[in-house]
Structure 1
Amino acid sequence: MQARLILEDGTVFTGQSFGSDAQKTGEVVFNTGITGYQEVLSDPSYCGQIVTMTYPLIGNYGITRDDFETVAPFIHGFAVRRHEPVPSNWRAECSIDWLLKEHGIPGISDIDTRMLTRKLRAYGTMKGILTTGNARVEELLEQLGASPLMTDQVPRTSTKHIFTSPGNGERIVLVDFGAKSGILRELTKRGCDVVVVPHDTTADQIRRLNPDGIQLSNGPGDPKDVPHAVKMIQELLGEFPIFGICLGHQLFALACGADTTKLKFGHRGGNHPVKELESGRCYITSQNHGYTVLEESIKGTPLNVTHINNNDKTIEGLKHNQYPAFSVQYHPEAAPGPHDSSYLFDEFLELIRTHRTNNPSKPRQAQLSETLKGELQYAQK
């Protein structure tokens, strides 16, 4: 079956359909990863977007249960140069075509993804419509123009209810703005007692959970669409150690008085070089974001820049100069080959222990008491 991807500037890409035959609109972006297409498909940060992969062969190692980043994908479309319908991998449990059909996501193959990527780099991300229908281009462009970009991605992707991943270590409240499972995996691997809460959980509700530290997750969209989260962070700064990742990094910056802006075409892929300013070391990082913290907005705030992007010099890490709080723009829970950045979770736990030593009056409970279990029910209301 034929499929078309039509950009808002009128550019038409005609190829072959795979996955669902549904018609979807979304922001068209590109990812430079050579592998990891399943993680891309299941990353909540792609909610509302049509993703094109710059690597030409996609689907060759199939889909496996262990590699999902969330239960159900939120991506709106998938564009590739060549789609491999028959995977060759002993771990594979299904094909990418089956996965997309199962979740109503359209795909298009046999298009010039190099041309599409160069256009997005030159002119920036733009809206697109992916369809298998026979409507005229003019009609589809009219539909596209009447379809605004989503602004409610965080509520769509965040958990609706509190849940726990019990452990015997530090209790971490993970605020879910569209969290990847990798963050929960890294925390539980270190023995943490993790309580995952919805995006709109208030500061008072978090206090009732008696955390040792607060993890701000990644998530989709514009951080300025989540003002309630900024307020929550402002109320908890200094009271608990805080570690922000990706969207959590941007929300942390806004809470400290900095500003954010949209990038021309964003950072998406597993090969982005990031420099740690203190050591001068370069890390190869996994990234997926369309917004960044404005460098000029840092002046006059209590924030220090800790990391920068070696490609375009945008801010990749921040640290509060008074409170136990820091953040990174990239994904330390992802492993794009090396495990360069997983040490940040260890630094977060060390920050918690130091904070506890400096505040000995704060009681610590390694496991949820019956009272706190009641607070879980209270916070869900």
Structure 2
Amino acid sequence: MKYQKRQKAIILLADGTIFYGKAVGNKQGTAFGEVCFNTGMTGYQEIFTDPSYFGQLMVTTNAHIGNYGVNDEEIESDSIKIAGLICKNFSYDYSRDAANGSLEDFLDKNNLLAISDVDTRALVSYIRDNGAMNAVISTDVDNVEGLKKQLAEVPDMNGLELASKVSTKEPYYFGDENATYKVAALDIGIKKNILRNIAKRDAYIKVFPYNAKFEELEAFKPDGYFLSNGPGDPEPLVEAQALAKEIIKRDLPLFGICLGHQVIALANGVSTYKMHHGHRGINHPIKNLVTGKGEITSQNHGFAVNREEAEAHPDLQVTHVHLNDHTVAGLAMKSKNCFSVQYHPEASPGPHDSSYLFDQFIENIKKN
């Protein structure tokens, strides 16, 4: 073990439950957020840099984290987005030819507090039974009452707008400017691999801030529009909903992923709700109701679309469902060039079963 005398640490949940661990490396401190878990066996670096995880304390169910190091190319944004890391075994040493460095150094560079030696099986079981909730991780183990008071001040994820915290401040371009198609993308927490997947299908993308108006996107003269994934509650994103309504009204090609999917539902008057503990992992089973085929998918969301309202909507079709809990996993509009999914077809690493959705978006653009 690299560190013989590591600092004791605690995980304090909003309901007062405490779990124990040790700080990774020599780092000390305190971090607040909503505690959640991811069931992926690989891809920790992609998870940690995914903007959809902004403000969350990530519990990894895989027993070993850090064993294959990090690679500069395996990021989904420009920095770590999780609020803190909770794991069982943290590997200070790594073995992979493609690695650029250790996970420990990567966390230090991003000033992230991580706690290991935690009974993550017990913690995940507790979250599954009692739901995702706010929590604090800290090396200040003798100040439980003080931590409780600070934790009580942390806003609940329900009703929390976080897209503005991770969105680009200024528009930027991605891909080949000589590509056949042009796509205007609204960044409400966009992952880099989404941009890569759209760009490699002969599209040039202009990415806009979360609060951009339709006129700004339209000025790019795009062939299609995209609403990205992202963190937080979709309901407060009134500007994104207004944008979606305008695109839908004009019957322009529109594709939404995850938070973008929820925004499209809200734009159609269908409500969303906070899930008990959400879907986070790279092994979630989905059924495509149009083709009858199953898909293993990557998912990361704590909110979902109201299925009863979606099925009752005269112009919406539920195209995909989650096979574990039958929640809405995909929507399409019957009379408009618009569709969306609740999961991540660009997942990297992760299954490729759903990559056809990007092809479908381009086909919709061609038909317009």
Shorter-chain TM band: over 0.9
* Secondary structure, aligned partner of 1:341: coil
Structure 1 length normalisation: TM-score?
0.91
CA 1:56 to 1:166, structure 2 compared with 1: closer, same or farther past 3 Å?
closer
| Equivalent position of 2:346 in the other structure | 333
| Equivalent position of 2:267 in the other structure | 255
| Separation in structure 2 between the aligned mates of residue 259 and residue 197 of structure 1, nearest angstrom | 25
Shift of the alpha carbon at 1:166? 4.0
Question: What does 1:50-65 align with in structure 2 at a 5 Å threshold?
Answer: 50-65=57-72
| Separation in structure 2 between the aligned mates of residue 293 and residue 233 of structure 1, nearest angstrom | 16
Shift of the alpha carbon at 1:142? 1.4
8 A contact 1:26–1:128 mirrored in 2: yes
Letter in 2 for 1:147: V
Among candidates 279, 286, 296, match of residue 291 of structure 2: 279
| Separation in structure 2 between the aligned mates of residue 245 and residue 103 of structure 1, nearest angstrom | 27
| Equivalent position of 1:70 in the other structure | 77
| Separation in structure 2 between the aligned mates of residue 141 and residue 289 of structure 1, nearest angstrom | 26
Letter in 2 for 1:346: D
Alignment partner of 1:176 is 2:192: no
* Secondary structure, aligned partner of 2:218: helix
Alignment partner of 1:317 is 2:330: yes
* Secondary structure, aligned partner of 1:223: coil
Alignment partner of 1:47 is 2:54: yes
Shift of the alpha carbon at 1:301? 4.3
Among candidates 107, 111, 114, match of residue 121 of structure 2: 114
| Separation in structure 2 between the aligned mates of residue 4 and residue 139 of structure 1, nearest angstrom | 13
Identity %: 42
| Equivalent position of 1:9 in the other structure | 15
8 A contact 2:182–2:222 mirrored in 1: yes
| Separation in structure 1 between the aligned mates of residue 180 and residue 140 of structure 2, nearest angstrom | 54
Shift of the alpha carbon at 1:337? 4.4
Structure 2 length normalisation: TM-score?
0.94
Structure 1 spans left out of the alignment, 5+ residues: 356-381
* Secondary structure, aligned partner of 1:234: helix
| Separation in structure 2 between the aligned mates of residue 200 and residue 301 of structure 1, nearest angstrom | 29
* Secondary structure, aligned partner of 1:224: coil
| Equivalent position of 1:300 in the other structure | 313
| Equivalent position of 2:280 in the other structure | 268
| Separation in structure 2 between the aligned mates of residue 335 and residue 279 of structure 1, nearest angstrom | 24
Structure 2 spans left out of the alignment, 5+ residues: 1-6
Of Structure 1 and Structure 2, the greater helix share is in: 1
Letter in 2 for 1:154: A
| Equivalent position of 1:154 in the other structure | 163
What is the total number of aligned residue pairs between the two structures? 355
Letter in 1 for 2:232: G
8 A contact 1:285–1:331 mirrored in 2: yes
Letter in 2 for 1:161: E
CA 1:218 to 1:337, structure 2 compared with 1: closer, same or farther past 3 Å?
closer
Q: Give the ranges of 4+ consecutive aligned residues of structure 1 lying more than 3 Å apart after TM superposition.
A: 335-338
